[in-house]
Amino acid sequence: MPARLDLTQGDITTLAVDAIVNAANSTLLGGGGVDGAIHRAAGPELLAECRTLGGCATGEAKITAGYRLQARHVIHTVGPVWSGGRDDDPALAACYRNSLRLAAANDCRSIAFPCISTGVYRFPFERACRIALATVKAECVRLPAIERVVFVCFGQSDFEAFERIMAESNA
């Protein structure tokens, strides 16, 4: 049975899932946006563990404990900075694919994703949503252990755009 895909608006740090995904920078040492929010909510132990990981390349993913979060794990992935080049789309897809594979390898059945690279990295939002949906659907077929994927939008306009794109992808 394929994973159930859900969409919600709100704060990813409050979700009770096995893993939340952090749209991190390559140092994994915290930053702005969702990255900063996750580090603040998880507490200083997350930063201490991230210091031991040696950073992360674009498209790759690394896992830590969730510490003070409801989620057991945080999966850190580094999205591409939008350049309009031919490597942008595959790099973003790799973030979702590698995060799901890491979740499955760590016995996570539920995972929540923010909209990776759509903030300060300026990836076009609707394009990013389509890549996220297509990649997650394809990868979940290969990973039956993943039962639920939640896409989390912080703002109302992003939520409405993602909701429309999800409906179109199911038509």
Q: What is the pLDDT of residue 89?
A: 98
Q: What percent of the chain has pLDDT over 90?
A: 96
Note the pTM of the prediction, 2 decimals.
0.97
Residue 118 is predicted with a pLDDT of: 96
What pLDDT is recorded for position 171?
67
Instruction: Assess whether pLDDT exceeds 70 at residue 1.
Output: no
CB-count exposure of residue 127 (10 Å: 0-12, 13-18, 19+): middle
- pLDDT tens digit string along 126-160? 999 999 999 999 999 999 999 999 999 999 999 99
Sign of CA dihedral 39, 46, 122, 152: negative
Q: Give the residue with greater pLDDT, 48 vs 32.
A: 48
pLDDT above 80 for 6: yes
Query: Taking a C-beta distance cutoff of 8 angstroms, is the pair 124, 82 a contact?
Result: yes
Angle at 155 between CA 45 and CA 119, to 5 degrees: 65
Tens-digit pLDDT profile for residues 72-129: 999 999 999 999 999 999 999 999 999 999 999 999 999 999 999 999 999 999 999 9
What pLDDT does 170 receive? 82
